[in-house]
A and B are shown apart, each in its own frame.
Chain A
Amino acid sequence: MQLMDILTPILWFALLGGVFGLLLAIAARVFAVKTDPRIPQMEEALPGANCGGCGYSGCSAYAEAIAKGEAEVNLCAVGGTPVAQRLAAVMGVEAGEIVPHRAVILCSAEKSEATMKYLYEGARDCVSATRLGAGERLCEKGCIGLGSCAAVCAFGAIKMKNGLAWVDPELCTGCGTCFKACPKHIIRMVPVKNNYVVSCSSTENGKLTRLACTKGCIGCRICEKKCEVGAITVTDNLASINYDLCTNCGACATACPRHIIVTVGKVELV
């Protein structure tokens, strides 16, 4: 009898295990999801940060898009050229050159340095704030500082400091998600080799800008005169740098009376 006590459970469990195993095997074959073998390879090559910089919801979505031929292989700014080359190798196409960029917030006025139209107490989110009379700041193009960009940044590169967003150049990979997330569209992707930027986006005339903010660009054109290569031009009261011509000489930065032409990600002194 002793042996039977051991044998019966073994036999019964063998039957149970076998039946379930077979069922699952059949189910796995019947429900097999037809996947393109190249997709896992490309997913392997992609950084996997799911940051959305390429315009797709994540790396696997981007890989699927490439496999279907809907997307180019060089949209992954974070991965840069090495990733693009590997993707091209998998797909057997030619990979274009990718210029690495860094995001910069084109506004340098903290909440205390700008005049406010009203006190906003709503949801802590820039998009909702802009719905209420284009945000609390008098300046239409000022940074709202509620962190919608910081929220989407997959690399934790954006910090909020007294109502102003600041991008840490070392952490920023230039994926561009914040560029799309900012309701005020005041984030600009600057090539890594350039380190000067006009950190203001106000197109109001001098008098109104002075009223709205202590740091706005008043369109005085001093920088335009100072620049030997003519890289910086003022169009409707706002200076902007053409990064193909700019030689990083910094003449405009020293000359600017409002001190808003600064190095990219001007170092935050503690």
Chain B
Amino acid sequence: MNKKFYIEHLKEGLLTNNPTFVQLLGMCPTLAVTTSVSNSIGMGLSATAVLMFSNLFISLLRKFIPKQVRIAAYIVIISGFVTAIELLLHAFLPSLYASLGLFIPLIVVNCIILARAEAFASKNGPLRSLWDGLAMGLGFTFALILIGSVREILGAGSILGYDLTFGVWQPALLFIMPAGAFITLGCIIAAVTALRRAADARVKAKEKTARVTGKEEE
């Protein structure tokens, strides 16, 4: 049974319950960071790393943390992790810190991490919480890259830094501006919902024909 849980949960993290598109969490870093794909990748991966470790530790300690101080305890653990990672990166991997440095303090104020800690890690075992951290982290990274690419192409006329405008069209600066971020995110969520609804409709239609005609319609 639990093998199915892991695959199912990964799908849930990436698509059906995606933290950015479905749960609408982690808006601040999503809007602030997705001005370029490289930023999105940096933010997504560092957030995934922190999410996995914090979920693991919180689910390990969940029995010792009384309900009255659970928020304070979780957030201290999360921000402790983030600060430690920031100091270690700054000292031992300065090149990586140069590209990720800006995002790490942003992770502390990322709602996804506390939301997952409160909703999942405090109720499930360490291994499942670690997996939930990975699934939600990847879902978050996937969403960031999608938004980042749209905003970078439209806003800066480049992708991963390579210029796409060839001097032909002038990129619309609006998409780099945070106001454009809201609009881009809105349209992307609409597209994702439309895709999900179409997928559900197709599945339902197949079920219905099967029920009526009594055989699986291909």
Contacts and interface: CB of A to CB of B under 8 A. Distances in A.
Interface string B172-205: 0000000000000000000000000000000001
B72 interface: yes
Interface stretch (B4-12, B24-32, B98-106, B208-216): B208-216
Interface string B43-73: 0000000000000000000000000110010
Nearest to B70: A24
A270 interface: yes
B69 A21 contact: yes
A270 B209 contact: yes
A20 interface: yes
8 contacts: A20-B69, A24-B69, A24-B72, A25-B68, A27-B68, A267-B211, A267-B212, A270-B209
A17 B80 CA distance: 14
Nearest to B208: A270
Contact of B208 (A17, A20, A21, A268): A268
Contacts, number: 21
Q: Dominant SS at the B interface?
A: helix
Given A24-B72, A267-B212, A269-B212, 18 more contacts: A17-B76, A20-B69, A20-B72, A21-B69, A21-B72, A24-B68, A24-B69, A25-B68, A25-B69, A27-B68, A28-B68, A267-B211, A268-B208, A268-B212, A270-B205, A270-B208, A270-B209, A270-B212
B32 to A, nearest CB: 29
B62 to A, nearest CB: 17
Interface residues of A, number: 11
A21 B208 CA distance: 57
A39 B208 CA distance: 40
B88 to A, nearest CB: 16
Contacts of B212: 267-270
A269 B211 CA distance: 10
Nearest to B71: A24
A269 B205 CA distance: 10
A138 to B, nearest CB: 32
Nearest to A25: B68
Q: Which of B69, B208, B212 has the most CB of A within 10 A?
A: B69
Interface of B: 68-69, 72, 76, 205, 208-209, 211-212
Interface in A16-38: 17, 20-21, 24-25, 27-28
A21 B70 CA distance: 10
A21 B72 CA distance: 9
Nearest to B76: A17
Nearest to A29: B68
Contacts of A270: 205, 208-209, 212
Nearest to A22: B69
A16 to B, nearest CB: 10
Contacts of A269: 212
B135 to A, nearest CB: 24
B209 to A, nearest CB: 5
A20 B73 CA distance: 11
Contacts of A268: 208, 212
Interface string A47-77: 0000000000000000000000000000000
A159 to B, nearest CB: 9
Contacts of A28: 68
A78 to B, nearest CB: 22
Contacts of B211: 267
B218 to A, nearest CB: 14
Most buried by B among A17, A267, A269, A270: A270
A267 B69 CA distance: 54
A269 B217 CA distance: 14
Contacts of B69: 20-21, 24-25
A24 B71 CA distance: 11
Contacts of B68: 24-25, 27-28
A17 to B, nearest CB: 8
A148 B144 CA distance: 37
A267 B210 CA distance: 12
A269 B213 CA distance: 9
Contacts of A25: 68-69
A26 to B, nearest CB: 10
